[in-house]
Structure 1
C-alpha cells in the first residue's frame, strides 16, 4: 500500500504533511536508503522546532553504519534547500538528513558538504495521502464537518481544552504587546481594552482609537466630574460638533471647548462618520455605549486593580453595573429621546465584557508576573459564564459539538478561526485522528 511515486502530484503534498509523516514516522521503513544509496537507520527523529532554524532538532541516526547527531530539515523538493538559502546559513551546517518528497537536485551545506537525502514519495501509503487530501482540500469552512462524527468525544474534548487555553495565551501576548507600547502602564492598557469591548462588534475599532488618543491619565484628572468625563469622551469622539441639538449637548460642548484647550485634544479629535450607526438598535448606538463607558469610568477611577482583587463573578459583574447619567437614561443620541428608560449595560453585555476583556487580562497578568493563580482565575471565570451565541457556535452545535460554558464557546471560536479557516488540520488533534486512522 505504498504511493505510486509520480502518480501523486507534488502540488497535493505540502510541507506540513511531510512534517506529519516524519513526526509520526508514517512511511515504509523497509530497506531505508539515502538518494546516495547509503543505508539509513533512524534512532531518534528529533524534537519539532517551532522557532527559526532546522525543523527537527537533536535527531540521531546512522548513515552507512556511522552514527550522527544533529538536525533534520524537511522540504517538498530538495531544491527548496537552495531556494530558502540554507546553503548560505551556518545554522544549517548541523543538518544530518534532508527529508523530501521529491529529490530533484543535490544540495550542499555552507561548509561544502553534500547533504544526505531521504526521499519519501514512494514510501507513503496512498490511503494516508487520500485522507490528507480529503480533509485539507475540503471546501467547507470547517473541513472535517462531514467526518466529525467519526472522532471520539474524548479526542474532541481534549482539543477544546487546548484551544481555550491557547486562546487565552494568544490574547495575553497581544495584551502584553500593548502594555509595552503603553510603557508598562496596566491602567492605560486595561482602559483601552475595556473601551474597545464597550464598542462590541460594530464599533470596537472606533472605541479603541478613542481610548488611544484620549488617555486614561487625562480622564483620571477629570474623573470626579461626570459632566467633564462625558464632555471629553463625546468631544474627542466627534459628537459635539453639531449645534442646536438640546440644552445638555450645548452644556457638554461648552465644557469641552475649555477642556480641549486645557489638554490639547483638538489635534486628534475624531469625526462622527467614524462611528457605525447602520443596522443597529438605538440601545446599541455608539452614543449609548460612550455614555456607558463614561459611567463606568466615573464610577471607577482605577479599575485594573479592581479586576485583580475582585475574585467572585458577582463582584466582577457589579463593576460594570454603573448607572448612566440622567440624560442618557432617556436618550439614545443627542436630541433624540428613547421610548423606554435605559440605566446601563445589561447582564448579557456585561458577560461579553468579562469574557473578552477581564479573562484575557487575568491571563496576561499571569504571564507577566509568572503566577498561574491568575490564569486559573481566568479559566474559572470562563467556566462560570454561559456560552456565547453566534453563527460559529451554532455551526458547531449542528455538528453535534455543544457549548455549555464560555470556556467551551471560546475554545470553539479559536478552533474555527485559528485552525479550521487556516487549514491547520495537521496541527489539530481532531484532524490528526481523521488522517491517521
Structure 2
C-alpha cells in the first residue's frame, strides 16, 4: 500500500465516517477534511474537526504507520506544529508535539471497507503495460472526455513553461523563440537537439538582416551545422562557403556547432541538409513569420504559410556534389502537422496566456482538425479500446501515459478515481 491511497481515502471520505474514534477512544467528527495542496508540510491544510466536543482547526498529516512521523523527522519541523490529527493505516507508536502533548491519531484500517481496499489493490497490481489497461474501455465517456481536455491543456502548460524560459533568454523576442522551436522540430527526434544548438548559435537579429537573401540564409544554417567545411566540386557549394565565411566575419558569429548530424536513419527527404535549406526558404519567403502563424486559426491556413520548397540547386541534390533526379522537395502536410503540434499550438497557447487572451476553444478546434500522431504509445492504447482520431486526443493520451501511468499516479488520475468509485 502507498500513502497516496490513504490521501484518496481521506480526501473523498472513502471510509465509515459515522462512528470515528481516535486510538484512545475519543469521538471524531469531520467538518472539513482540508485542502490537498501537495506542497511542503502537512498533507491537508485548514481542516476542521471535532474531537470529544472540542472543535479544532488546523492541518492533517497522513502516514502508513504512526512511527513514520519520526522517520520523516516531523518532530523537528515547525511546519507540523499545527497538525490537529494524525491519520494512519496502522498505529504503532504515540506521537507527541514539542510541548509533549499527544497528537490524536485515527487508524483508518478499522474503517475502510474491504471492497475498497480490494479495488485499490486490483488497480495497482502490475499488468503488462499500465495498471488500468483491463478497465480503460469501461470508463464512463463523460468522465474520460473531461479528463482528456484537462490532459491536453496540462501538456500545453508544460510546453508553455519551456517557451517562457526560452523567452527570458531571448530578450522577450517572440520571433526568436519561434525560430528556435521551429529549427529544433525541423530536426525531428534524431537531429532535434543538434538543430536547436544551431538555432541558438545564430542570433535572430542576424536571421532578420539576412532574410532578404536565400543564399545567405542557406550558408548561415549549413555553415553553423558544420556542413560547409569540405572541398566541394560544385560551384554552388563553393559559393555558399564564401558567403558563410563573409557572414561569420560580418556578424562575429560564434564557433560552429560541435557534433554530428544523423543522415543514415533518414529517408532522403528528411536529410538534415534538406531540412535546413527548407528552413532557409521558409524565412526567405515568409517575412514576419511569427505574426503569420499567430493569426492562423485553421490547419489549411498553416499549410499555406508552410507551402515552401527549396532553391534550384537543392531540387536536384540531397547532398553536395551528388546530383539526383529533380524534385521540388516541398514540406509535406504530414510534416507541417508535426510542426503545428510541437511548435505552433504550444506557441499560440503561450502567447495568448501572456496577453491574457482566451483561445481555449480555438486550440481544441485546431487540434481536432489534425490527424492523430502515430507512435507506439498511441498504438498500444488502441489495443485496449482507446482509439485516437486526432491530435487533440493523441496529445492527451501521451500526457496520460508519461505523466500519470509511467509515474504510477493512478490516484491523481480521473480514470483511477472512476475505477475506485465503481
Give 1:385-400 correspondences, 5 Å limit: 385-400=370-385
Which has the higher mean CA deviation after the structures are superposed, 13-22 or 96-105?
96-105
Which residue does 1:311 correspond to in 2?
297
Q: After the TM superposition, list the runs of 4 or more consecutive aligned residues in structure 1 that deviate by more than 6 angstroms.
A: none
Which residue does 2:218 correspond to in 1?
230
1:372 is paired with a residue whose SS is coil
> Structure 2: any 5+ residue segments left out of the alignment?
none
Report if aligned partners of 1:136, 1:143 keep a CA contact under 8 Å in 2. yes
Which residue does 2:91 correspond to in 1?
103
Provide the rounded CA distance (Å) in 1 between the counterparts of 2:164 and 2:404: 23
Is 1:367 the counterpart of 2:359 in the alignment?
A: no
Q: Deviations over 1:243-272 (max 9, x none)?
A: 1242222111111112122233343x124x
Distance change in 2, residues 1:245/1:21 (3 Å): farther
Is 1:405 the counterpart of 2:390 in the alignment?
A: yes
Is 1:348 the counterpart of 2:334 in the alignment?
A: yes
2:171 is paired with a residue whose SS is coil
Report if aligned partners of 2:228, 2:241 keep a CA contact under 8 Å in 1. yes
Which residue does 2:401 correspond to in 1?
416
1:121 is paired with a residue whose SS is helix
Provide the rounded CA distance (Å) in 2 between the counterparts of 1:131 and 1:342: 59
Provide the rounded CA distance (Å) in 1 between the counterparts of 2:48 and 2:334: 56
Provide the rounded CA distance (Å) in 2 between the counterparts of 1:27 and 1:319: 58
Which residue does 1:7 correspond to in 2?
none
Q: CA RMSD in A?
A: 2.0
1:274 is paired with a residue whose SS is coil
Report if aligned partners of 1:330, 1:341 keep a CA contact under 8 Å in 2. yes
Give 1:56-71 correspondences, 5 Å limit: 56-71=44-59
Distance change in 2, residues 1:218/1:160 (3 Å): same
Provide the rounded CA distance (Å) in 2 between the counterparts of 1:88 and 1:210: 50
Which has the higher mean CA deviation after the structures are superposed, 232-241 or 380-389?
380-389
Is 1:300 the counterpart of 2:281 in the alignment?
A: no
1:103 deviates by: 2.7
1:159 deviates by: 1.9
Give 1:35-434 correspondences, 5 Å limit: 35-109=23-97, 113-267=101-255, 269-271=256-258, 273-373=259-359, 375-434=360-419
Provide the rounded CA distance (Å) in 2 between the counterparts of 1:128 and 1:245: 75
1:169 deviates by: 1.9
1:109 deviates by: 4.1
Report if aligned partners of 2:309, 2:328 keep a CA contact under 8 Å in 1. no
Distance change in 2, residues 1:134/1:339 (3 Å): farther
> Structure 1: any 5+ residue segments left out of the alignment?
1-12
Q: What's the TM-score, normalizing by structure 1?
A: 0.90
1:164 is paired with a residue whose SS is helix
1:23 deviates by: 1.1
1:112 deviates by: 5.3
Q: 1:27 aligns with which of 2, 9, 15?
A: 15
Provide the rounded CA distance (Å) in 2 between the counterparts of 1:155 and 1:90: 40
Which has the higher mean CA deviation after the structures are superposed, 177-186 or 192-201?
177-186
2:159 is paired with a residue whose SS is helix
Distance change in 2, residues 1:113/1:226 (3 Å): farther
Distance change in 2, residues 1:191/1:84 (3 Å): farther
Provide the rounded CA distance (Å) in 1 between the counterparts of 2:159 and 2:11: 29
Aligned length: 422
Provide the rounded CA distance (Å) in 2 between the counterparts of 1:258 and 1:155: 60
Q: Deviations over 1:210-260 (max 9, x none)?
A: 112222122112111111111111111111111124222211111111212
1:208 is paired with a residue whose SS is helix
1:111 deviates by: 5.9
Which has the higher mean CA deviation after the structures are superposed, 117-126 or 380-389?
117-126
Q: What's the TM-score, normalizing by structure 2?
A: 0.93
1:59 deviates by: 1.2
Provide the rounded CA distance (Å) in 2 between the counterparts of 1:153 and 1:406: 18
Which residue does 1:9 correspond to in 2?
none
Which has the higher mean CA deviation after the structures are superposed, 422-431 or 176-185?
176-185
Report if aligned partners of 2:62, 2:88 keep a CA contact under 8 Å in 1. yes
Report if aligned partners of 1:34, 1:119 keep a CA contact under 8 Å in 2. yes
Report if aligned partners of 2:127, 2:133 keep a CA contact under 8 Å in 1. no
